[in-house]
Amino acid sequence: MNHLHENLSLFSFWGLNLALAAVTVFVVVYVYKNNAIGDGKNDIVDDLRRRSVAVYLAAETSLSVIISHELRHASNEIERLRSMSRVMFWLIIAMNTVVIGLLLIGYKTF
């Protein structure tokens, strides 16, 4: 029975280390990706919105109005997807925090 406790303790110890490493790598990659895109990502949405207004104001045909609405819709979709990716990021961090907590409890118990 003591051998089982040692194996569980070792498993929870290495699981904890691997989970911490995975979370660290995930956060570093996420931050790097967002900083690599950095300034340009907000410019895309602002640029689409400015173009939408410019096309709408210069609208001489119904096609220009349609293009303006499509540009506005594209900028709104980009914003929606960004907010969803932020939520997913924090959900993944929360999930890994729970796993790390369970492994810590397992390590201390066994």
Residue 108 has a pLDDT of 76
What are the residues whose beta carbons fall under 8 Å from the beta carbon of 64, sequence distance 6 or more?
55, 56, 58
Question: Is it the case that residue 41 has pLDDT exceeding 60?
Answer: no
Contact 40, 66 (CB under 8 A): no
Q: What average pLDDT score do residues 55-78 get?
A: 80
Tell me the domain boundaries of the chain: 16-109
Residue 7 has pLDDT above 70, yes or no: no
What mean pLDDT is predicted for residues 62-70? Answer: 80
Length of the chain, in residues: 110
Provide the Cα torsion 51, 54, 60, 64; round to 10°. 20
Better-predicted residue by pLDDT, 70 or 43: 70
State mean pLDDT over 44-59.
77
